[in-house]
Amino acid sequence: MNLDWGIIWDSRDALLQGAAMTIMLTVVTMALAVPGGMVLALMRLSSNRIANGVAVAIVEFFRNLPLILVIYWAFYVMPMALDVQFSAVTTALVALVLNVSAYNSETFRAGINSIRKGQMEAALAMGMSRRQAMFKVLIPQAARRILPVLASTWISLFKDTSLVSVIAVSELAYASMQVRAQSFRVLEMLTAMAVIYWLMGYPQAKLVDWIHRKYGVKE
């Protein structure tokens, strides 16, 4: 077998740009999906049936579809439905944010519901409104339980960004496959892609472990 590992060095610019795009997609998606998930969670916890029903429909729809199908839907269907043409990066972000927001919603809802009902009752007894009790009593306590789960979601999101390569977003997987197609160096490029993903993912995984140890709640 004739291997040419020099192709990795020769393609370093494309690989680094792809890695940067992967990081950007992860950061922007989570920055939007955290408030998105919080809004959906509060809607699901609301006594308003319309708000609750809308949130349930959104969460159950996107949580139970494969992410790659959501990506294809956003790329092919959304522009026709809205009569607007989006860039591949914008389309990828829309699909990722919708998917992760649905999961974050359940994370927030579970965290809030894990707080004993007596906390809400005590806050109401002190004269707080339900809104004040939610934001000043329940959510601050729930944050400690939610943070480790959000950290794990971050790791999953980081790896799932590779799926947007199917719509030609130039993240790491797409950049690697482009070099592979042009050079016919399959083993070298797949190995390089795996190593780069591992080098970026391992420190994040260790950070998640630390967050679980520091902020995990044991009862």
In angstroms, the CA 184 to CA 145 distance is: 48
Q: Which of the two residues, 132 and 217, has the higher pLDDT score?
A: 132
Banded model confidence at residue 219, pLDDT cuts 50, 70, 90: low
Residue 125: both structure tokens together = 């007894």
Tell me the per-residue pLDDT of 74-111, one tens digit each, with 9 for 90 and over.
Answer: 898 888 888 888 899 999 999 999 999 999 999 998 88
Tell me the per-residue pLDDT of 115-140, one tens digit each, with 9 for 90 and over.
Answer: 777 767 777 777 777 777 777 777 77
Integer angstrom CA distances of residue 118 from 69, 110, 124 = 42, 16, 10
In angstroms, the CA 34 to CA 26 distance is: 12
Q: Which amino acid is at 96?
A: L
In angstroms, the CA 216 to CA 219 distance is: 10
Which of 59, 99, 57, 94 is closest to 75 using CA atoms?
A: 94
Which of 140, 56, 143 is closest to 102 using CA atoms?
A: 56
| pTM over the 0.85 mark | yes
Q: What is the pLDDT of residue 90?
A: 92
Q: Is residue 186 within 8 Å of residue 136, measured between CB atoms?
A: no
Classify the C-alpha dihedral 216-109-160-16 as positive or negative: negative
Banded model confidence at residue 142, pLDDT cuts 50, 70, 90: confident
User: How many CA atoms lie within 13 Å of 87's alpha carbon, on the beta-carbon side?
Assistant: 5
Integer angstrom CA distances of residue 119 from 11, 83, 140 = 57, 48, 12
Domains in the chain, start-ordered, CATH in brackets? Answer: 15-215 (1.10.3720.10)
